[in-house]
Amino acid sequence: MHNRGRRVNVRSFCDRVWDTLFTSIEACDELSRDQRRLYTFLWRTVDVRTRIFERGLGVAAIARRLRMSDAAVQRAISILCAKGFAHRLPELPRRPVRLALNPLLIEAAYDDAKRSFRGRLAS
């Protein structure tokens, strides 16, 4: 029974981390609406362990999914990289778009969530 309570706490904590991250992205005045949409998409589909986005999707597929033009996606990626939100990685076969997302953003969300769960989770 104790284990189930811990699992619920861990799930709530993880949900809080993601909510904090996406709220921060939405509130970021440094990014345009398109840049925020793309960045939210990247975080939703990133490999959480490595913080690397590398799917078989090309720019055109990402643009279709987000209902943006290919040029708008390319511009948004370039600006995200220029502002330090992401970093381009070399392309691989079947991985035309590879980006490393800034780990400081998820760490800040984690720290914020941890403060709100003080005493309920072991450090």
Q: Is 22 helix (H, G, I), strand (E, B) or coil?
A: helix
The domain defined by 2-116 folds into Arc Repressor Mutant, subunit A (1.10.10)
**For residue range 14-50, what is the model confidence (pLDDT) as tens digits?**
888 888 889 989 988 999 999 999 999 999 999 888 8
Rounded CA separation 78/86 (Å): 9
In tens, the pLDDT along 75-105 reads 999 999 999 999 999 988 888 889 999 988 8
CA distance to 32, 37, 100, 108, per residue, from 74 (Å): 14, 13, 16, 27
- From residue 90, alpha-carbon distances to 56, 96, 99 in Å are 14, 9, 9
The answer to whether 71 and 28 have CB atoms below 8 angstroms apart is no
